[in-house]
Amino acid sequence: MKDEYDVLVVGAGPGGSIAAKTAAEHGLDVLLIEKRAEIGNPVRCAEGVGKESIKPFIESDPSWISAEVKGARIYSPDGTAIEMSEDIAGPEVGYVLERKIFDRALALQAARAGAEVMVKTRATGLIIENGFVRGIRGEHFGDDFTVRANIVIGADGVESKVGRWAGINTTLKLSDIETCAEFLMADIDFDQDYCDFYVGNEIAPGGYAWIFPKGKHEANVGVGVLGSRVGSTKAIHFLKKFVDKSCSDGHILEIIVGGVPVSGPLERTITNGLMLVGDAARMTDPITGGGIVNAMITGQIAGEVAAKAISKGDTSTKVLSEYETRWKSAIEDSLDKSLHAKEVLTKMPDEQLNMLAHSIKDVNFGELTATSLLTEITRRNPKMLWELRHLL
């Protein structure tokens, strides 16, 4: 570790690794730190992702692809299935990843682009001088250190501290986080071609349960429940109940827990000398909970804007505001739509969810996105979804 870098990235998830890679590719001196001993482990993810959407960030490699899927199916409380696949007879459109390997591959890309990568290295505070973030305080293998940087990128995930240290309030309300539990299960019998989602107030209040195929008759089986809707029954209990009903003869090989921000993006994602990306900036889709791709999109933009700011010698919000303009034009619209839909759908009783499902069960979806699903249910249920009419 040197005393000073152009850019210091906190957190080696998909957002941080892409930010570090991008900045390094622009010739910057970059340090990427990860507090865990092992990048990518433990996993906190169901690992589903659109094939096309990750193409810009990494060349596909079988080592981090667990399975390929043709589409998604959503089951309403009464069991009505909505099938979403671009072309049922066509090629696979989605991957279920092996995040342990995927996250490492992304960090390796950053390292090969010239970034210095350090594990077991935790940021514990920021150096702030004259209103500018100028580096971090940290701890590596039990030893404290300080390191200076012209720009800090906070990619520290759902538990993000970097934003808070800089005075940005990133606290999630209970109604803005999904609390999740998941098993990796073996020897269960299900359709390996689809990612399946199950909605309903009994199965997962304010969230959903999922079965995502991992190949070899294995699957990620999980449940996410809205924080404001859990009582003494925890996500893990909802999961056990779901497993008992859906795949009780499977074997549990791994347990995964985690929180997914569903607040919609932070209002402020920059300060002087600082940008927040990915989950740290709450970039996950509030309906699907998917955040891998948005972390990479925002990480890349942050890396590019960092390069510009450093070449200009100005890391103030005046220059960094380009980061906000660009991420907004890339993903704000779809995040906004999902957020509005979340506010309405997470409050719906099962009968209404069933009615929505019946109204679209025979639709052919051209596009496998939350937005296309939301547009269709809004169009077909104008009265019930009056509050969502602007989605059309």
Ligand X SMILES: Cc1cc2nc3c(=O)[nH]c(=O)nc-3n(C[C@H](O)[C@H](O)[C@H](O)COP(=O)(O)OP(=O)(O)OC[C@H]3O[C@@H](n4cnc5c(N)ncnc54)[C@H](O)[C@@H]3O)c2cc1C
> Which residues here bind another protein, judged by CB under 8 A?
35-37, 42, 44, 122, 157-161, 164, 170-174, 177, 179-181, 227, 230, 232, 234-236, 255-259, 261
Q: Which of another protein, ligand X, none has residue 179 at its interface (CB below 5 to 8 Å by kind)?
A: another protein
Report d(CA 289, CA 291) in Å as an integer: 6
Query: Are the C-beta atoms of residues 122 and 106 closer than 8 Å to each other?
Result: no
324 forms part of the interface with ligand X (CB under 6 A): no
CB nearer another protein, residue 94 or residue 222: 222
* Identity of the residue numbered 101: I
Take residue 97 and report the two structure tokens written for it: 């990843």
Q: Which of ligand X, another protein, none has residue 227 at its interface (CB below 5 to 8 Å by kind)?
A: another protein
Q: How far is the CB of 231 from ligand X (least distance, A)?
A: 20
Q: Which of ligand X, another protein, none has residue 379 at its interface (CB below 5 to 8 Å by kind)?
A: none
Place of tokens 């001088």: 129
Q: How far is the CB of 209 from another protein (least distance, A)?
A: 13
CA of residue 168 relative to chain centroid, distance? 20
Q: Which of another protein, ligand X, none has residue 200 at its interface (CB below 5 to 8 Å by kind)?
A: none
Single out the residue of 21, 26, 35, 73 in contact with ligand X (rule: CB under 6 A).
35
> What stretches of the chain show up as alpha helix (H) in DSSP?
14-25, 51-54, 99-112, 162-165, 235-246, 292-312, 317-327, 333-345, 350-360, 370-380
Q: Which of another protein, ligand X, none has residue 250 at its interface (CB below 5 to 8 Å by kind)?
A: none
Place of tokens 């993903």: 331
Q: How far is the CB of 157 from ligand X (least distance, A)?
A: 3
DSSP string, 130-161: TTEEEEEEEEETTEEEEEEEEEEEE---TT--
Q: Which of another protein, ligand X, none has residue 171 at its interface (CB below 5 to 8 Å by kind)?
A: another protein
Q: How far is the CB of 236 from another protein (least distance, A)?
A: 5
- Positions in 289-308 near ligand X (CB under 6 A): 289-292, 295
> What is residue 192's DSSP assignment?
T
CB nearer ligand X, residue 204 or residue 295: 295
Closest Cα partner for 210 from 231, 224, 200?
A: 224
Phi, psi of 106 (to 5 degrees): -65, -40
Single out the residue of 149, 155, 297, 319 in contact with ligand X (rule: CB under 6 A).
155
Take residue 316 and report the two structure tokens written for it: 């103030």
Query: Are the C-beta atoms of residues 309 and 320 closer than 8 Å to each other?
Result: yes
Q: Which of another protein, ligand X, none has residue 148 at its interface (CB below 5 to 8 Å by kind)?
A: none
Place of tokens 């999630």: 172
Single out the residue of 8, 9, 10, 356 in contact with ligand X (rule: CB under 6 A).
10
Place of tokens 């990235």: 9
Count each helix (H run) and each strand (E run) in the chain, helices first: 10, 18
Binding stretches for ligand X (CB under 6 A): 10-16, 33-36, 44-49, 122-123, 155-159, 161, 180, 182, 222, 256, 258-260, 278-280, 284, 289-292, 295
